[in-house]
Structure 1
Amino acid sequence: MAEKLDKTVVRTATALVIGALAVVFDTTILSVALHTLAIDLHTSVAQIQWVTTGYLLALAATVPLSAWLLARFGGKRVWMVALAIFLAGSILSGLAWNAESLIAFRVLQGVGGGLMLPVMTTLVMEVAGGRQLGRVSAVIGLPAMAGPVLGPVLGGLILALGDWRWIFWVNIPFTVVGLLLAWRMLPSDRGRDPERRLDVVGVVLLVPGLAGLLLGLSNSVQPGGFGRVDAWLPLSGGAGLVAAFAFWALRRRGNALVDVRLLRVRSVWSASTLLFLSSVALYGAMLLLPLFWQQVRGTDALGAGLLLVPQGLGTLACRPIAGRLIDRVGARWIAVVGFAIVAVATVPFALSPASAADPLLLVALFVRGFGLGAVTMPLMVASYQGLAGEQIAHSSILTRTAQQLGGSFGTALFAVLLQAAVQGGASLTAAFDLAFWVASAATLLGAGISFVLPSAGAAKAAVASTPAPSPAPVTAASGSPRPAR
């Protein structure tokens, strides 16, 4: 019989996941409401798009600060303050009186949300102490796996039954309960290094660098793609700033805003690369699939959201199975099989299915969701193997950033592919065929790269060498990370 999760891990994960549900759903729930918001707030779709763009930029700006905040102030305080900021942003967004005020309040939401996700992962992984990481990731990965699929459905239902303001107010119960649970259930801590100074140069380089990359990718979705000045210019500037930060961080070593030396660790760089690719497949498909149902199959927005439910159910069905298997056989083979399943289940959409029976496509979506669940969890586990203390916090930043960039790149890539195919004279169905074939190919690439993940034996050795978590504050780790072999 499988060993039960430690009670402290369960309590910590429960308190954090409840609050995190609001953040993950909020990231995707708004995707079906932009047209409604533009009409009700008397503005253009281009301007209202900043409701989403501003939120994502705020997320990117605050994620890199999480490791420093954890070291300086401690996990419980950072989590509760971040959750309170997100709650305030949600209430104010629901009270917005015009597009400008809504964009500003969404940025406030993004500040809180950007801190919450890496902090959640860091706290739970530290409490787990390197043990049963597969089952732990099945718990904390629930919001991240369910949100992208169920969020648009929830948004469509809210718009169909009530006012758009409830898209933001639906966050209130999650955040209030999350604050109460955090206050009662999270262990108090003072931080590892209360005197830690902020790497100001790192902030100046990395934060606008990531924002530039995400802004360029967001703008490239519009007509003109990557050739637009407002796409390639921020992309180029952002890439230059991120590269400059990498050189700066290598000189600063353990005192950098983000310890990029962790990318020398096999498990971290391979997991980060694969999380980028899996996000391309997930979020790129979240652009393609609703458009496919609406433009090729003729459904409305709510119908398209409901038709995506099987993918979410598949992901949830995979969660407990994959969590247990990862602890037994390691992350490598679970990820390989997961990527292969996603690739195969995407193919039916690339075979000109305009007249295919809906049940066949719904089954394919369920299988695709199952594969996505088998991809996400082993990559999360692999990225923390052999790490301890503050290294976990820095790995959380690296993997979360890879996911953000991958999601934005996937959305931009497939939008550009659709536009280019249609402008080149292809029919709408042929354009979708091409995009789905590219999605399948990118997923197969992920299956190949998954072979570089640490083996099951290396994972067990990493767990054995991971120090047990200490309840007392300790100084920040300054040694080089231990690579998994």
Structure 2
Amino acid sequence: MQSQTIAPKKSSIVATCAILIVGALAPMLDSTMANIAVNSITQSLHTSVNSVQWVVTSYVLALGIVVPIAGWAIDWITGKQLYLWALVGFFVGSVISGLSSTITMLIIGRVIQGAASGIIIPTISTLVVRAAEGKNLGYLMSVVGLPMVLMPILGPTIGGLIIDQLNWHWIFYINIPIVLISLVILTIWLPKFTPNRKGKRLDVPSIALFTGLFTGLILAITKFSDSIKFWQSSVLWPLGIGISCLILYIAYALVFPKRALVSLNLFKTKTFSAASILLLMSGITLNGAMFLLPLYFQNIKNLSVIWAGIYLIPQGIGMLLTRTQVGKITDHIGARWVVITGILIAAISTLPFAFAGADTNKWLLLGCLLIRGTGVGAFTIPIMSDSYTGLKPQQIPEATSATRMFQNIGSAFGSAILATVMTHQMTGQTPTIAHLAGAYNTAFAWSIVITLIALIPAWFLSVKRHKKV
């Protein structure tokens, strides 16, 4: 009996892509739906913004750390089996999150959700490539990529509608029927995708050291806002653990270069080093601001949770507008000037939020968000493409896992840093609208400054010079 092949017939490739997308709908929505629920969760669980930011941070941190594991697993486990088990994990995380009555339980649920998403999202791209056998990838990636962009844009609006009609628990309960239907569809129709059983084996020490590094640093940031003073054991212990894990990883990668998850040789390439730094920093620009904006619209502009979600749509539209052209422009002139332009647009369009108050004109803010979206949309694609410039073919899979990990972990840092800034600003202050507005203004100002600092690594991205005829 003939086993299933790695790729189905050409006529069913688009159907396979559609099936893969159905399975990822809930994880893609959840990547931003929780942002709109932060205010409701803070009030419901009687906790602080700094604690609730872990609902967002833990999700993207777990997602980022698990991405390299997905890159390994797809070579050793059938694609169908990997996808199904990841969806089951997302189901479990959604149930725990929905049932949560404490912030600790909710964070545990979000970690499980994030880990599952860290397998699902990158697996889609890999399986599409295998299904198509390398043909018509531009068209197929655009088919798969569109919902990957649209779902996070629609997430806050859909989440706002759910919370307004029900409560925040339902942004997690809603995943349950979606995942169950997806599991049935995937079980029946998704091809097997036999693994090639080649490539690096999973390096557990690398995963452990990266987990300690990034978790330690983020814990230090959040504990700093709790203790107010830097020289406190609650800050220094996680900071020390994070730095120790970094030193140990460098030593480990030098001694065992073939085992290490991210080879130090990758950083010998100027563009990869610059792209990695930019991906970490872009998380503050994009995800950090996405954490702040729903809170700002609800707490300062006094918008309902639905309208707070709707107000975020212009930024998503701006991202879509530039996404269609930014790849072509990058191919023509290189990444440097595209990214620098995007950074400047994002910084300038965020500036009004550093001065905005309760009476600031809403059309000004909506216009700024639309322009901001066009700037942010010029970040990821040029940076990701430039990370491969100058690399050898055998380094590309490793670079792919590394850049995806840096991008998601940067998002975790973004939420943690800006929540810490806000908490510091409100320490000892009466939570009036004026004081809250001042705290948001300062957090947005930090976002602008960090965005502008990104101009330094952006200068080291590639630039293409065309010879005059």
Once residues 230 and 12 of structure 2 are traced to their aligned partners in structure 1, the CA distance between those partners, rounded to angstroms, is: 48
Higher mean Cα deviation, 138-147 or 294-303?
A: 138-147
Aligned counterpart for 1:159 among listed residues 135, 154, 163: 163
Higher mean Cα deviation, 421-430 or 74-83?
A: 421-430
Match of 1:189 in 2: 194
Once residues 71 and 53 of structure 1 are traced to their aligned partners in structure 2, the CA distance between those partners, rounded to angstroms, is: 29
Are residue 437 (structure 1) and residue 445 (structure 2) matched?
A: yes
Paired amino acid for 1:189 = T
Paired amino acid for 2:174 = V
Aligned counterpart for 2:383 among listed residues 371, 375, 379: 379
How far is the alpha carbon of 1:158 from its aligned partner? 0.7
Match of 1:452 in 2: 460
Match of 2:5 in 1: none
Contact 1:343-1:443 within 8 A present in 2 as well: yes
Q: Aligned to 2:258, what secondary structure does the other structure show?
A: helix
Once residues 386 and 187 of structure 1 are traced to their aligned partners in structure 2, the CA distance between those partners, rounded to angstroms, is: 35
Paired amino acid for 1:340 = L
Once residues 137 and 457 of structure 1 are traced to their aligned partners in structure 2, the CA distance between those partners, rounded to angstroms, is: 29
Once residues 62 and 382 of structure 1 are traced to their aligned partners in structure 2, the CA distance between those partners, rounded to angstroms, is: 23
Higher mean Cα deviation, 209-218 or 168-177?
A: 168-177
Match of 1:287 in 2: 291
TM-score w.r.t. the length of structure 1 is 0.77
Distance 1:17 1:225, change over 3 A: farther
Aligned counterpart for 1:251 among listed residues 228, 236, 255: 255
**What residue ranges of structure 2 are gaps of 5+ in the alignment?**
1-9
Q: Aligned to 2:408, what secondary structure does the other structure show?
A: helix
How far is the alpha carbon of 1:389 from its aligned partner? 6.7
Contact 2:57-2:416 within 8 A present in 1 as well: no
Are residue 314 (structure 1) and residue 318 (structure 2) matched?
A: yes
Q: Aligned to 1:293, what secondary structure does the other structure show?
A: helix
Distance 1:100 1:440, change over 3 A: closer
Once residues 424 and 96 of structure 2 are traced to their aligned partners in structure 1, the CA distance between those partners, rounded to angstroms, is: 39
Once residues 57 and 236 of structure 2 are traced to their aligned partners in structure 1, the CA distance between those partners, rounded to angstroms, is: 16
Higher mean Cα deviation, 139-148 or 283-292?
A: 139-148
How far is the alpha carbon of 1:237 from its aligned partner? 0.6
Equivalent runs, 1:115-154 vs 2, <5 Å? 115-122=119-126, 142=146, 145-146=149-150, 149-154=153-158
Paired amino acid for 2:280 = F
How far is the alpha carbon of 1:7 from its aligned partner? 9.0
Contact 1:126-1:388 within 8 A present in 2 as well: no
Paired amino acid for 1:188 = F
Once residues 331 and 222 of structure 1 are traced to their aligned partners in structure 2, the CA distance between those partners, rounded to angstroms, is: 40
How far is the alpha carbon of 1:92 from its aligned partner? 5.0
Contact 2:285-2:447 within 8 A present in 1 as well: yes
Higher mean Cα deviation, 419-428 or 252-261?
A: 419-428
Q: Aligned to 1:355, what secondary structure does the other structure show?
A: coil
Distance 1:403 1:428, change over 3 A: same
Are residue 206 (structure 1) and residue 223 (structure 2) matched?
A: no
Q: Aligned to 2:194, what secondary structure does the other structure show?
A: coil
Q: Deviations over 1:203-230 (max 9, x none)?
A: 3323333332333344445562756644
Once residues 336 and 182 of structure 1 are traced to their aligned partners in structure 2, the CA distance between those partners, rounded to angstroms, is: 45
Once residues 152 and 440 of structure 2 are traced to their aligned partners in structure 1, the CA distance between those partners, rounded to angstroms, is: 20
How far is the alpha carbon of 1:388 from its aligned partner? 7.3
Match of 2:228 in 1: 224
How far is the alpha carbon of 1:362 from its aligned partner? 0.5
Q: Aligned to 1:255, what secondary structure does the other structure show?
A: coil
Q: Aligned to 1:253, what secondary structure does the other structure show?
A: coil
Once residues 88 and 264 of structure 2 are traced to their aligned partners in structure 1, the CA distance between those partners, rounded to angstroms, is: 30
How far is the alpha carbon of 1:402 from its aligned partner? 1.9
Once residues 133 and 343 of structure 2 are traced to their aligned partners in structure 1, the CA distance between those partners, rounded to angstroms, is: 28
Contact 1:336-1:448 within 8 A present in 2 as well: no
Match of 1:475 in 2: none
Q: Deviations over 1:363-419 (max 9, x none)?
A: 111110121112122222222456577634322332233223322332233334334
How far is the alpha carbon of 1:159 from its aligned partner? 1.0
Paired-residue identity, %: 35
* RMSD (Å) for aligned C-alpha atoms: 4.0
Match of 1:463 in 2: none
Once residues 203 and 186 of structure 2 are traced to their aligned partners in structure 1, the CA distance between those partners, rounded to angstroms, is: 32
Distance 1:48 1:328, change over 3 A: closer
How far is the alpha carbon of 1:345 from its aligned partner? 1.0
Distance 1:139 1:442, change over 3 A: farther
How far is the alpha carbon of 1:231 from its aligned partner? 3.9
Distance 1:201 1:434, change over 3 A: closer
How far is the alpha carbon of 1:281 from its aligned partner? 0.8
Once residues 80 and 457 of structure 1 are traced to their aligned partners in structure 2, the CA distance between those partners, rounded to angstroms, is: 47
Match of 2:278 in 1: 274
Higher mean Cα deviation, 246-255 or 322-331?
A: 322-331
Match of 2:346 in 1: 342
Once residues 263 and 109 of structure 2 are traced to their aligned partners in structure 1, the CA distance between those partners, rounded to angstroms, is: 31
How far is the alpha carbon of 1:429 from its aligned partner? 4.3
Distance 1:7 1:94, change over 3 A: same
How far is the alpha carbon of 1:68 from its aligned partner? 2.8
Distance 1:340 1:52, change over 3 A: closer
Q: Aligned to 2:198, what secondary structure does the other structure show?
A: coil
Once residues 411 and 221 of structure 1 are traced to their aligned partners in structure 2, the CA distance between those partners, rounded to angstroms, is: 13
Distance 1:21 1:405, change over 3 A: same
Once residues 436 and 97 of structure 1 are traced to their aligned partners in structure 2, the CA distance between those partners, rounded to angstroms, is: 31
Paired amino acid for 2:266 = L
Contact 1:422-1:431 within 8 A present in 2 as well: yes
Contact 2:218-2:416 within 8 A present in 1 as well: no
Paired amino acid for 1:443 = T
Once residues 401 and 59 of structure 1 are traced to their aligned partners in structure 2, the CA distance between those partners, rounded to angstroms, is: 8
Once residues 170 and 255 of structure 2 are traced to their aligned partners in structure 1, the CA distance between those partners, rounded to angstroms, is: 48
Aligned length in residues: 451
Q: Aligned to 1:71, what secondary structure does the other structure show?
A: coil
Match of 2:4 in 1: none
Q: Aligned to 1:73, what secondary structure does the other structure show?
A: coil
Once residues 425 and 46 of structure 2 are traced to their aligned partners in structure 1, the CA distance between those partners, rounded to angstroms, is: 30
Once residues 458 and 349 of structure 2 are traced to their aligned partners in structure 1, the CA distance between those partners, rounded to angstroms, is: 18
**What residue ranges of structure 1 are gaps of 5+ in the alignment?**
1-5, 459-485
